[in-house]
Structure 1
Amino acid sequence: MSSLQSLLLLRREERWPVFSGCAAGFAVLGAYYLLKPLRDEVFVGDRAVGAELWTGTFLLALLLHPFYGMLVARVHRERVLPILFRAAALLLVGLYWLLHRVPDPETVGPWQEQAGSFWSGRWVQGEQGWQLLQGSRIWLQRGFYVSVSVFNLYLISALWSALIERFEGPPARRLFGLLAAGGSLGAIAGSALVAVAFDSWGSGPFLLLAAGLLEFSLHALRSAGACQSRAPMHGSSFEGLGLVLRHPRLRLLGVYILLFTLGSTWLYFLTADLLQVHLPEKGDRVRFFSGVHLVTNVLTLGMQIGLVGRLMSSRGLLPGLVLLPLVSLVGFSALALAPLLSVLFAFNVLRASSRYALAKPAREALYVGLEPRDVYKAKNFLDAALYRGGDLVSGWAFQGASALIVSGGAALTLLVLPFMATSVGVAWRLGRQTDESQG
């Protein structure tokens, strides 16, 4: 046990809280990765309205932000996470019920949808009561896409806010990589289960399993001591934006996040376009995404267990923040030269693993030393509203560039390279400033 503790940089009194924190991360990320391949396939299958899906995602994130701010300001913090997580679990159960009530387009009842009509994809009252028209399942799938895209950000942001407050101070850099490893294990388990069971189970059981994992995560957080009784933080529901604008480190982090979302959006849309050509079947696309997630999280876990804590303790946050934009710069260059499925797979894996293994723990460590109000309110604004706002602008920019550039994906890929080069400089400055201020 002592050799394992030495490898993990873990002290005896930290064993149970860290194990419980890892279990909470396992459950939350496991739930998300049960749903992520299904969500991503909806985007590829409905690629014609991809920018509209991202618009809906941003609008929902923006709509929920003041409610989250009000919740944090007025409710004791030990109740914030149960409210958020159980609301998400109920949503998943409701989506499961609706998806089983709505007929597939191949098995339509007497009501026929008229393309482009006002009632397209809506409820209609018929002789047998309220019925759903053909095409309603498409709208439910779009609702599923938007809901998962928004709630995963809120839940993961709230999870890390609680862990940051629980493991504050000098141990944070040493332990954050290990805490993130619990999430990677959950992501591996979720991705592997989807890859193995999707053909026989379909989509529905994964929604119920994800809801159960969210409930389990609450018990794990309580065991870690991350849901202790703390007074509300008061203040305005919209205070997150003001906190970001007033704090130099948070302002620079906002720029870093916007450039990151540009790269993520560009890769996401390019991936969807290439998969429509190379993998026209839905099941093949789900397995592609599951494979990407599985390999990504195996690599991520290996780095998180033995590398991240030592790197952040000895070298600071700068290496973790800079590696992701460097990988993005090299990856987009490779994809422009060789837009192949193998290159696409490798780029997705390497970018995501550098993000989750190094950039994510480094980003969370940026909040160490800040007031709890800054952590909860500003972090949620950055992780949800600003993140999805960046997605929205980047998505419409990609659509506009696609309409103007007729030469194809290589030219579109080259467009993003100057922004990725800029993000390297922003990451360097952010890492240097934070390492100097945190000592």
Structure 2
Amino acid sequence: MSSEHGGTPSANTLGRFRAALGESPPLLWSFLYFFCLLSGYYVLRPVREAMIASSDVTAVFPPGLVAFFAERGVALGEFVPQFVFTSVFLIMLALQPAYGWLVSRFARRVFLPVIYGVFIATLLAFYAMFDSGVQGRGLAFVLWLTVFNLFAVAVFWSFMADVYTNEQARKYYGYVGAAGTLGAFLGPLLTGLLVQRLGIPNMMLVSCALLALCVVCILRLRRYAVLREQALGQKSGEVPMGGEVLAGLKLVAREPLLRWMALMVVLGVGVGTLLYNEQIAIVRAAFETAEQRTAFFSRIDLAVNTLTLVVQLLVTRALMSRFGIAPALLIPGAAVILGFSVLSASPLPIIVAIVQVVTRASEFSLAKPARETIYTRVGREWRYKAGAAIDTVIYRGGDLTFVWVHKLLAAFGSNLVFGAGLVIASGMTFSAWRLLREEAKLPSERSPRPLDKSVTEAGQLAGGR
């Protein structure tokens, strides 16, 4: 059916995207960057999910670790998610000072490529481990991929807040998020098509190539970050920002806006963790082989990404440009409350899957872009240190807490799990409301019109539009 203006909705959406590319030259490189980043992650994510859901504990853990727990009367296979999330939290806690030191002591042009270079190097090491069948590779890979996802995505959004003003973020973050969703589509498709033909080790090489493209995008986007900082009179990111290595956690403890941001994220993690662990239990009972579980998780990812993309292209930009970030933060909370209300009354497997899709899609398409828009109005320590602290160690602290909460509640049945989830979802929505009140107190950004002009000129010099 034609739209009111005579074109199809898809044609109109494409036309608006082309216009946005003309208005904002860095948008193309941001689009490619996030597309490659999430493609590289989602190529490997089904492998991780299949390992966590494996009924064969020796496929995940080194034999010595299994024997260590068995000697103490603990069946490690019954605590796979708990062990993984506890380990990831401890790793995040250890990495936080190292990351703080890196971003404090080195300029943006150094630490961004270094972070992705380390990820590429470790992926090459995993290629060798999986190709040679090293025992314990499953656990090492699960831990690494979980850390990679959080740090790589946190760094991406911190960098975007260097590139875009607040007004531009509200206009373009929907498109940037859609790029990630398209990448998240490609990843599972590549895995589904190639994993049984090429094997798991070669999927590591596919991911390496995509991450190398991310480094190219970083190098091209740096100039736009510099121009934004010059136009707004901000401190340059081309020099080390200095400060304490633990400044991120200290800022979260001190600043009300960051505290509510952190609480909202932790409670959102709680909702997702309860759903995730119920899904793991279902998959473990329903499928016998790792290949079957990998295919199932690929289908779930595709469903999430389909809904996310539709919302990002048709709703996010219009909603945030016209009404600001409030609806984008509050609507996901309302959707999760409704979903958990239904699950509390009728915890059927198909409903668990549907609520999982809606919960993740609303987080990716609305809540995440809205939260990241706030960082365009604060200083670089807030973006790179506090933002990263929230998205890594605090995020995984929520995972650690709620994976054990789920273990306790699951002993009393699914109804209690989802009843608790309803309370947590209500707390998440309240935190979003308080976050909006704190966000309203931030100073307004100067007019971005001089920046738009300088960025356009830079794009023309670079061979852009």
Q: TM-score range by the shorter chain?
A: 0.7 to 0.9
The answer to whether structure 1 residue 426 and structure 2 residue 456 are counterparts is: no
Q: Give the aligned CA root-mean-square deviation in angstroms.
A: 2.1
Contact 2:112 2:218 in 1 (8 A): no
The CA distance in 2 between the partners of 1:438 and 1:296, in whole Å, is: 36
Deviations 1:31-68 (A, max 9, x none): 11111111111111155222011111101111111100
Unaligned 5+ residue runs, structure 2? 1-10, 58-76, 227-236, 445-465
Deviation at 1:227, TM superposition (A): 7.0
SS in structure 1 opposite 2:180? helix
The CA distance in 1 between the partners of 2:389 and 2:21, in whole Å, is: 36
Contact 1:9 1:174 in 2 (8 A): no
Contact 2:88 2:396 in 1 (8 A): yes
SS in structure 2 opposite 1:231? coil
User: Counterpart of 2:279?
Assistant: 271
The answer to whether structure 1 residue 207 and structure 2 residue 212 are counterparts is: no
The CA distance in 2 between the partners of 1:184 and 1:173, in whole Å, is: 18
CA spacing shift, 1:436–1:313, aligned 2, 3 Å: farther
User: Counterpart of 2:463?
Assistant: none
Q: Which amino acid aligns with 2:417?
A: L
Deviation at 1:5, TM superposition (A): 7.3
CA spacing shift, 1:367–1:90, aligned 2, 3 Å: same
Match of 2:46 among 17, 37, 46: 37
The more displaced of 2-11 and 179-188 is 2-11
The answer to whether structure 1 residue 410 and structure 2 residue 441 are counterparts is: no
The answer to whether structure 1 residue 59 and structure 2 residue 56 are counterparts is: no
CA spacing shift, 1:206–1:338, aligned 2, 3 Å: farther
The answer to whether structure 1 residue 185 and structure 2 residue 194 are counterparts is: no
User: Counterpart of 1:72?
Assistant: 103
Match of 1:378 among 386, 398, 402: 386
User: Counterpart of 1:328?
Assistant: 336
User: Counterpart of 1:389?
Assistant: 397
Q: Which amino acid aligns with 1:420?
A: A
Q: Which amino acid aligns with 2:427?
A: T
The CA distance in 1 between the partners of 2:168 and 2:83, in whole Å, is: 43
CA spacing shift, 1:4–1:419, aligned 2, 3 Å: closer
Q: Which amino acid aligns with 1:44?
A: A
Q: Which amino acid aligns with 2:403?
A: G
Aligned residue pairs, count: 401
The CA distance in 1 between the partners of 2:111 and 2:225, in whole Å, is: 9
User: Counterpart of 1:221?
Assistant: 218
Contact 1:9 1:309 in 2 (8 A): no
User: Counterpart of 1:92?
Assistant: 123
Q: Which amino acid aligns with 2:390?
A: L
Deviation at 1:11, TM superposition (A): 4.5
Deviation at 1:12, TM superposition (A): 6.0
The CA distance in 1 between the partners of 2:293 and 2:87, in whole Å, is: 23
Contact 1:316 1:435 in 2 (8 A): no
The CA distance in 1 between the partners of 2:116 and 2:241, in whole Å, is: 20
Alignment of 1:232-381 (within 5 A): 232-381=240-389
Q: Which amino acid aligns with 2:263?
A: V
Alignment of 1:58-137 (within 5 A): 58-102=89-133, 136=135
The CA distance in 2 between the partners of 1:354 and 1:237, in whole Å, is: 33
Deviations 1:46-93 (A, max 9, x none): 552220111111011111111000000001111111111010111111
Q: Which amino acid aligns with 1:419?
A: I
CA spacing shift, 1:97–1:233, aligned 2, 3 Å: same
Unaligned 5+ residue runs, structure 1? 104-135
CA spacing shift, 1:3–1:391, aligned 2, 3 Å: closer
User: Counterpart of 2:25?
Assistant: 16
CA spacing shift, 1:217–1:289, aligned 2, 3 Å: same
Deviations 1:194-222 (A, max 9, x none): 22333323321211111111111110122
User: Counterpart of 2:63?
Assistant: none
The CA distance in 1 between the partners of 2:341 and 2:350, in whole Å, is: 15
CA spacing shift, 1:438–1:277, aligned 2, 3 Å: farther
Deviations 1:299-340 (A, max 9, x none): 212221232111011111111112222222222233343433
Deviations 1:65-122 (A, max 9, x none): 110000000011111111110101111110110111126xxxxxxxxxxxxxxxxxxx
The CA distance in 2 between the partners of 1:391 and 1:15, in whole Å, is: 37
SS in structure 1 opposite 2:166? coil
The CA distance in 1 between the partners of 2:171 and 2:441, in whole Å, is: 17
Contact 1:158 1:376 in 2 (8 A): yes
Q: Which amino acid aligns with 1:142?
A: L
Identity level (%):
28
Contact 1:77 1:227 in 2 (8 A): no
Deviation at 1:409, TM superposition (A): 2.1
Q: Which amino acid aligns with 2:49?
A: D
Q: Which amino acid aligns with 2:95?
A: L
Contact 1:35 1:207 in 2 (8 A): yes
Contact 2:20 2:172 in 1 (8 A): no
CA spacing shift, 1:169–1:244, aligned 2, 3 Å: same
The answer to whether structure 1 residue 198 and structure 2 residue 212 are counterparts is: no
Contact 2:377 2:442 in 1 (8 A): no
Contact 2:13 2:314 in 1 (8 A): no
Contact 1:66 1:238 in 2 (8 A): yes
User: Counterpart of 1:109?
Assistant: none
SS in structure 1 opposite 2:165? coil
